[in-house]
Amino acid sequence: MPLRWGIAGCSDITSKRVAPAIRDHPLAALTAFYSTDAERGRRFAEEFGATRAHTDLDAFVADPEIDAVYVASPVDRHLPETLAAAGAGKHVLCEKPMALDAGEGARMVAECRAAGVQFAVAYYRRYLPQIRRIKQWLDEAAIGQVVLARVNMSSWVDLQPTDTKYWRTIKAQSGGGPLMDLGSHYLDLLCYFLGRPSAVSAMTDTLARTWDVEDSASLLVRFPDPTGAGGSCHAVLTGNWNVHADRRHDDIEIELHGTAGSIVAGPLAAGHLLLKTDRREERLVLTPPDNVHMPLIDDVTRRLLAGESLAYPGEIGLLATEVISGAYESSQNGRTVDLPADG
């Protein structure tokens, strides 16, 4: 019997990646959608072969033909929809960023655990071949002790009130600007590469726009040395929605520099990698799948059907949100913020 999925939220990410991945997976079945817009839900159900669409959240999570819920709604709906699904005994895979702040995220983790359901955040980039290769190199200590990481996310975002994604500029719905949006993905990757962060210092400002979310974010995050050598690593992440950069918003580079060499990944989405040390140089192109959500959906589906624990449970997904909340606190108070320790 396949794993039967319901999707909460008929969003752009739903139509482009999530629904096709579930529909096309041999061990999954897309049963139902939930949308506050009845016509939109009906259209999505028809397009992706679901048997029905709900407009009532309680009826959706109570649907006996749903085993797991993918939450793909705006960020302010992640908490209530996750808790509703968990309360109905459904496993939950939630879009990033997981919640408006770390307090909400911790509550989602705790209540899913208490309900006896599995919960994870949809950080699909961890499954991509170029990301796995970087992790392999770091685990091998190919560049020695990692001392510096850099991520620069600069683009021009020009959302208008008529745009369906305009909610991203409304803090009550999105939680923030570029730091919450793409920043959550890349902070998660830094946690994947470098471990649990220990402190963050940040400036987040709205410098050129009129939104109530930041258009500029600059973070300095301290990580332990993943090689276990006892040192620490500084990670610098900048995110801007006010820069006329001559590139797509997802043409991001990640740099990892160590005492024995460097890894440069970019454009990351295209799978370009460079490993360079005094004795070794490797240039690779590891092409991601056409639907980058498919490896995530595949792994979660197979593990849930087998009754296994998820590879990256909600506690792992919470790390990026803890950094983000710490960054906003740091920017507001003008000081470095210590992040929660393990456990």
Domain residue ranges of the chain, discontinuous segments joined by +: 3-122, 125-289+322-338
Beta pairing class for 28-34 and 91-94: unpaired
Give domain 125-289+322-338's CATH number out of 3.30.1330.20, 3.40.50.10260, 3.30.360.10, 3.40.190.10: 3.30.360.10
Q: What would the DSSP string read from start to end of 161-215?
A: TTSTTGGGG-HHHHSSSTTTTHHHHHHHHHHHHH-S--EEEEEEE--S--SSS-S
Q: How far apart are CA 129 and CA 32, in angstroms?
A: 31
pLDDT (average), residues 114-127: 98
Asked if residue 64 lies in contact with residue 10, where contact means CB atoms within 8 angstroms, the answer is: no
Give domain 3-122's CATH number out of 1.10.490.10, 3.10.450.50, 3.40.50.720, 2.40.30.10: 3.40.50.720
pLDDT computed for residue 269 by the predictor: 87
Share of the chain above pLDDT 90, in %: 88
Residue 229 or 278, more confident: 278
Asked if residue 120 lies in contact with residue 126, where contact means CB atoms within 8 angstroms, the answer is: no
pLDDT computed for residue 128 by the predictor: 97
pLDDT computed for residue 6 by the predictor: 98
pTM above 0.85, yes or no: yes
246: pLDDT confidence band, cut at 50, 70 and 90? low
pLDDT computed for residue 49 by the predictor: 97
Tell me: the pLDDT tens digits for 76-107?
A: 999 999 999 999 999 999 999 999 999 999 99
Helix (H) or strand (E) segment spanning residue 282: strand 281-285
pLDDT (average), residues 309-313: 98
Tell me: the pLDDT tens digits for 280-307?
A: 999 999 999 999 999 999 999 999 999 9
Tell me: the pLDDT tens digits for 158-203?
A: 888 998 889 999 999 999 999 999 999 999 999 999 999 999 999 9
Tell me: the pLDDT tens digits for 223-242?
A: 986 666 666 899 999 999 99
Q: What is the C-alpha radius of gyration for the chain, rounded to an integer number of angstroms?
A: 20
